[in-house]
Every structure is written in C-alpha cells, then in structure tokens.
Structure 1
Amino acid sequence: MTTTPSTRTRRPTTSGWLTFAAVIIGVTGLFNAINGLVGIFDDDYYLVGETDVLVFNFTTWGWIWLLVGFVQIAVAAGISTGQTWARTAGIVLAILAAVGHLAFLAAFPWWSILTIGLSVLTIYALTVPPSGASAA
C-alpha cells in the first residue's frame, strides 16, 4: 500500500542555525547580566572613567545590561523551543546589544567588539532558517 500525500506525516524543519542563535543569545545574555552586575557594584573595574563612556554612567549601564541579559536569556529559551516571537525578539535584541556595545566600546573594547560580531552572526542565524523551523 502506498501513501498518498494527504496521509503522510510532515516532519517539522529543524535548523542548526537556530540552535546556534539560541546558544549565542543565551551565553551573551549571561555575560551581559554579569557585566551589568559589575557595573552596578564595582564602578572601578573598568579602565576608563565614567566620562569616557558615550552615554550614561557605569551604574546606569549596569542596570541596562542586567535587564538586557535577563531578556536575552528568556529569548534564547523561546528560540530553542521554536517560538516565532522569540526569533523576532532575538533580532531586535541583537541589534540593541550591538548598538549598546558600540556606546560601551571605550570601557570594554575587546568584549564590545566580540559582542558586536556575535550580534551580527546571531541576526544572520535568526533570518536564514525558513519560517516555522525550530532549533535542532
């Protein structure tokens, strides 16, 4: 007996790119949360004075990065479970993280450059897979 197209079960599409994006957003979110805690509790950790940061001060940046980090971790969980809203939120957060780290460049240059690069890769990883795909 042959199966007709209407009786075949369709497997959901999985994507290694989405898995990559979920892991990178989760790790970056964890690092941003740690970076935020450092900014809140230890202003002297950074090599430049608060006047050398493009906007705000380290305590304000600390709260911003802590909040962004927690949201990134939640979005990473959403991406890994195949939520469409999480892919869109991941793209928005990657753009915000890249812009934010551009403003934070003087305080933490190597980490900022690395995060900007990872944000670009994350945006690619979230836009390449077909709609409806889920993390592998």
Structure 2
Amino acid sequence: MAAMPNKRQEDGSPHSGGITGVTVFAGTALMLSGPLSILLGTAGIAGDTLFSSPRYAYRFDLTAWGWLHLVIGVALVIGGIGVLAGKRWGRGAGITVAAISLITQFMFIPYYPAWSITVMALDLLIVWALSRFPPETSGGRR
C-alpha cells in the first residue's frame, strides 16, 4: 500500500518548507544554546576573574574567551532563527555553528565544567537533529 502524501504539504502551506517536530526542537535548542553562550561570554568579558584555570593547553585571556562565546552565541541565535523560519541556509548554519560551539565548549571545560558539559550535550543534540532528519520538500519526496 503506497503512502498517501500529506495534503497540507501539497497545498503550499507553511509546513511544506520542512518544519517538523525535530526541526522545531533543533531550532528551539539553538535559540537556547545561543543565549547561554551569550551569557557566558558576557560573564567572561565583564568579570575577568569569574573563571580561572591553572596551566591549561587552551589557555586564552578570559576576555578573549568571553568575546568568542558572545560571537558564537549570536551566530547560534541567527542559525536558530533560520531553522525555525524554514530557510535553506538555516540547517547548514545550525549544524556548523553548533559544531563550533561544541568544540569551544570542550576547550572551555577546565574553566566551568558543569556549564560546558551541559551546553556540549545540547549542541550535540542540535547537530544530530539537523543532520539526521532531512528537510521535507513540498509535494512529497523527490
């Protein structure tokens, strides 16, 4: 028995752009991870003594870490907006920025382990959700 195409997708409704439950989750998670990185960046910029780590391979000035997290956080929010708006560039941007965030959070573990590991898990879920489930096209699969 052949699968019936979703009539809602055939009529050009907003859901024909690939906004599914997994995509909504990924976009929402991006919109959560972004502000968390922005807050971390702001804390690093404003209070340079908030974080400290002795003799670490990826040791940067904490103000530099703050600016890095702030820029990545803004990029995560932009990617989340793109994903939730169903833009083609949103998926690629979301995967790329979440992967970059994942790497920088890994490098930041000695400074604030609980925060970094939590945000790393969120970023990993974002990458998985956006890369595992392909966007749906209007009119069915092609």
Deviation of the 1:114 alpha carbon = 1.1
1:61 alignment partner, one of 49, 65, 69: 65
What does residue 115 of structure 1 align with?
A: 119
Take 1:75 and 1:40, find their aligned partners in 2: how far apart are those partners? 23
Q: TM-score, normalised by structure 2?
A: 0.80
Q: What displacement does 1:9 show?
A: 6.8
Which residue number corresponds to residue 101 of structure 1? 105
**Match for 2:28 among 15, 19, 23?**
23
Structure 1 segments (4+ residues) deviating >3 Å: 49-53
- Does the 8 Å CA contact 1:102/1:112 hold for their aligned counterparts? yes
Query: What is the distance in 1 between the residues matched to 2:70 and 2:136?
Result: 30
Residue 130 of structure 1 and its aligned partner are, at CA, apart by 2.6
Q: Tell me the distance in 2 between the aligned counterparts of 1:121 and 1:41.
A: 30
TM normalised by structure 1 equals: 0.83
CA distance in 2 between counterparts of 1:14 and 1:55 reads: 40
SS of structure 1 residue aligned to 2:37: helix
Contact 1:82 1:132 (C-alpha < 8 Å) held by counterparts: no
Query: What value does the CA root-mean-square deviation take over the aligned residues?
Result: 2.2
CA displacement 1:24-76 (0-9 Å, x = unmatched): 11111001011111111101112x24754723211001011111111111111
